[in-house]
Amino acid sequence: MTNQDPVFPDFGLSPQERHQAVRGHYYEYPGMDGARGEIWCYTRSYAYARGAMVDLHISSTASSCRLEIVRDGAAQTSVYGTDDIATAWQETPDQVSVTGCGWAPTFTFQVHDSWPSGAYRITLTAEGRDGKPIQCHHLIIVLPNAGPKPGRILQVAATGTWTAYNTWGGSNHYQGITGPNRDKYATTVSIERPLCRGFVVLPPDAPRVPLEVSLPPGTIPRYPHMEWAFANGYSKKYTSSGWASYDSQFFRWAERQGYGVDLASQYELHNNPGILNDYDCVVFVGHDEYWTWEMRDAVDAYVDQGGRVARFAGNFMWQTRLEDEGQRQVCYKYVARKEDPAYQGGDVTRATNSWEAPEIGRPGALTFGLNATNGVYSGWGGCAPRGVRGFPIYRPRHWAFAGTGLFYGDLLGADSHIYGYEVDGLAYEIRYGLPYPTADSGAPEGLEILALGMASQVEESDILTREDLFFGDEDGRFIAETLYGEASDENMEKVRYSNGMIVNFKRGKGEVFHAGTCEWVAGLLRKDKMVERVTANVLNRYLNR
């Protein structure tokens, strides 16, 4: 086997620590910082209207703290601050990830009428027991006022996915301390808890998921993002979701380019779908995996009535339900058919399964043209770690590529690595060198496939042992069972290989452009001129510029 150590960045971990960083379950919890002390906070909502009162629920080992609120856009603008907020330690339930913290409100501030819509970073700073500062970060979204806003973009933050990946308290929709043996992921998670470390702020050198190193022959892939997280005290899911890794990168870029951008959470789509009608263009970015039925209704109605949707995001996969007035998110995922009450005499169309489950009857492609079950992994683990990195272009004459100089067969965004780590695709066929959706793909009528790359549902290589696998064939088996009833050898071959696409289609009076990748924002972060040009082409067309 090739000596791997010189290939990957070194974060000072031993081999045992590297194993724990990837295979272990580590998370944020009250008391984790021990003798040094700590401070945490949360709010009961992701988004607030101007004029609203915001309760901060704080638990701290210090007796007081300082508050600063900064609008996190193209400029970092401080809008509010105060010293000497009295704080105390508040007890936390064991299953806080499911039930919420239940802490009493500590401090209340008002969203000022002058604050523009956007993301507002809350930083609390206190003195630790060793005399050194301790901090926590939180985030709220300030919503726009109602009314038509021609020429402005509404960006919808992927807050359903934030909720699903948040590791604070021990459980999320992936790993956890729930169940009789304290080893199950949580099928219900609460937003009434702090956001895990890395969701709000990150240093600029924090690794992203796709591998940025060149792997010599015989090299077993590693996971620098998880090793970095373990070495530096961040959540291992900081690269999977959150404002810092994804949503902020588009918001800051758009403001720097002179676009007017407002921000909302996904819960506005669920509870106030009319917010979309105030805009000519609505944008979704990053890792955007979890949606309710009602959120899809809002987007579908908006497009049918003439709205334009630009989705620079990947992994459109799971239906969720909201409970307790939106405070808790439900998603049974892999165990839905066995455990979700929707299968036990409820409305099975609202089952928290993959959108592609036949009983739900609402394939993901009907809304965004693509779905995760035909896509998923590329650029990490045993799924194309030496893959294309960018989108192979098939229709360079499309309006989205105007002025880029792209040719048929070129790669868009390879230098900035926009392709991965999870992508969305469709069943397709090649005719005369061009891809077309198959008749049974579920694609909307008239959908054009503009770019097409390779992806995989199953890790595979002749050099990987079972110990080397990160997700193995678990997702492939689930998708085979979902689509075809069982994970037989024959059905596994049907789902083993997949794809990621850029597509465009019209529906009703509106239009959708979908670049089906989580990492599109990496092209904006890394100032990739071609990616920036395509993004601007889409926005300018949809804003009638």
Domains of the chain: residue spans and CATH = 37-145 (2.60.40.10), 320-363 (no CATH)
Alpha helices (H) in 257-292, listed in sequence order: 266-271
Backbone φ and ψ for 410, nearest 5 degrees, come out as -70, 165
User: Three-state DSSP class for 152?
Assistant: strand
Positions of the chain with pLDDT under 70: 1-5
Query: Which residues, in sequence order, are bridge partners of residue 501?
Result: 452
Residue-wise pLDDT tens digits, 304-340: 999 999 999 999 999 999 999 999 999 999 999 999 9
Answer yes or no: are the C-beta atoms of 470 and 382 closer than 8 Å: yes
Q: What is the pLDDT of residue 481?
A: 97
What tokens appear for 158 in the block?
């992927």
Omega cis (within 30) before 234: no
Among the listed residues 364, 333, 360, 353, the one whose alpha carbon sits nearest the alpha carbon of residue 427? 364
> Which DSSP state fits 196?
P
Residue type, 169: G
Q: What is the pLDDT of residue 103?
A: 98
Residue 533 falls in which region: left (phi positive, over 0), alpha (psi -120 to 50) or beta = alpha
| CA separation for the pair 140, 133 (Å, rounded) | 23
Answer yes or no: are the C-beta atoms of 270 and 291 closer than 8 Å: no
Residue 51 vs residues 112, 115, 218, 293: alpha-carbon distances, Å: 6, 9, 59, 30
Extended beta strands in 369-465, E state? 371-378, 391-392, 411-412, 421-425, 428-431, 434-437, 448-456
CB-based burial label for 342 (10 Å; 0-12, 13-18, 19+): buried
| Order of all β-strands in the sheet with 64-72 | 47-48, 133-142, 118-127, 64-72, 76-86
Residue type, 97: S
What residues contact residue 63 under an 8 Å CB cut-off, 6+ apart? Answer: 86, 87, 88
| pTM reported for the whole predicted model | 0.97
Extended beta strands in 371-530, E state? 371-378, 391-392, 411-412, 421-425, 428-431, 434-437, 448-456, 497-507, 510-515
User: Three-state DSSP class for 502?
Assistant: strand
User: What element of type H or E holds 303?
Assistant: helix 293-304
| CA separation for the pair 266, 105 (Å, rounded) | 25
Identify the residue whose tokens are 């924002």.
521
Alpha-carbon torsion angle 273, 328, 21, 219, nearest 10: -40
